[in-house]
Amino acid sequence: MFSHVMLGANDIEESKVFYDETLLVLGARPGKLSLNHDGHTRYVYFVNNKNSFIISQPINNQEASHGNGATIGFNASSTDMVDEWYQAGKNAGGSDPELCDPPGIREGGGVQLYLAYLLDPSGNKICAMYRIPRQID
């Protein structure tokens, strides 16, 4: 459904280190430098041939800000991958969001998800998620 997601970064190089480490766990290559027409730095992460994730210096030269209530979620292929993503993010300067439970199973509507949340260096809330397959009786 989405072609790309872009987040603002106050310290673009610090954010690149963070996303290089966390997205590597999910199979992405390190961010590729891309300057926009005004010379603002961006890094593009290619997750597959259809989607990309971008961090960018805000083009209005104001501070980047996070969306209250906004979360960007990344797919993971196992609970171990979610845990590895979370630890990579903590090691690369990420922090735990306020009022979020530690990585683990969340249930609702007959669905089980294994989730972990982090704040990136600019305060954006991100998540890694694995959909636990339903057991057929």
Q: What is the mean pLDDT of the chain?
A: 91
Residue 64 lies in a domain: no
Torsion angle of C-alpha atoms 102, 78, 28, 10, degrees rounded to 10: -10
8: CB partners within 8 A, 6+ apart: 55, 56, 57, 58, 64, 65, 122, 124
Number of domains in the chain: 1
Residue 137 lies in a domain: no
Residue 110 lies in a domain: yes
Among the listed residues 6, 87, 18, 89, the one whose alpha carbon sits nearest the alpha carbon of residue 54: 6
Residue 137: its pLDDT value, please?
A: 62
Cα(101)–Cα(99) distance, integer angstroms: 7
Residue 63 lies in a domain: no
What's the pLDDT tens digit per position in 19-64?
A: 999 999 999 999 999 988 788 999 999 877 778 999 999 989 899 9
What's the pLDDT tens digit per position in 102-126?
A: 999 998 888 899 999 999 999 999 9
CATH, residue 42? 3.10.180.10
Residue 50 lies in a domain: yes
Domain coverage including residue 111: 4-58+71-132
Residue 41 lies in a domain: yes
Among the listed residues 5, 126, 36, the one whose alpha carbon sits nearest the alpha carbon of residue 74: 126
